[in-house]
Each structure stands twice: as C-alpha cells, then as structure tokens.
Amino acid sequence: MKIFKKSRQAFTLIEAAIVLFIISLLMLLILPNLGSQRQKAVETHATAMVSTVQTQIDLYANEHPENGSITMNNLVAEGYLTAKQAQKVKDLNITVANNEAHK
C-alpha cells in the first residue's frame, strides 16, 4: 500500500481572501493619515518660507538702511531671493508689508 503525501503548492481560496482582507484593512488605516501628513508638510513649508523671507528682509534692511519700504521686487532684484523662491512666495500668498513677511 502506497501512502501519498499531499503536496501543498498554492494558497487556498480562504488564505488568499484573508491576506487580501488584511492588506485592505491596513490600507484603510494608513491612507487617511497620509493626506493629513501632506497637509501638515505644506503648512510647515509655508511657515519656513515666511521665516526665510523675513530673514532676507532683515538682511536687506541692514545693508540698505536708506530704503524705507522693502518689497518683493527689491529682494529679487538685489539677489536676496531667487526667482524660484519668489514664485513659491507668490504661490503661498506671502506678502510683505511694513518690512514684515505675512502669510
């Protein structure tokens, strides 16, 4: 009498369904968190840009005390901000008023 060993070469349907269920459950938990992290990163970037612009305003004011009112055009023309930084400032709606950067 021969005894045949049952060889297992593939997943059963139930095993595959359980794996898919676990993966989908993990995705449901992770994906909403990614959206909030992206928003937090955008807000942090905006705060950093305001700080950068304010630093450049202060540097410009120290080197050009004769200029009373500083604008974004002054900062870009004198090389305190690059064109790319100026575009980012415009996109983030950062304004310069009374020699202070505001969001």
Q: What is the pLDDT of residues 51-97, one digit of tens each?
A: 999 999 999 999 988 878 888 999 999 999 999 999 999 999 999 98
Cβ burial, residue 52 (10 Å; 0-12/13-18/19+) = middle
Domain total for the chain?
Answer: 1
**Domain span including residue 68:** 13-102
**Burial label, 75 (beta-carbon count in 10 A; 0-12, 13-18, 19+):** buried
Torsion angle of C-alpha atoms 16, 17, 23, 27, degrees rounded to 10: 150
- Would you say residue 77 lies in a domain? yes
Whole-angstrom Cα distance, residue 7 to residue 31? Answer: 39
Strand partners, 102: 95
pTM: 0.67
> How high is the pLDDT of residue 4?
63
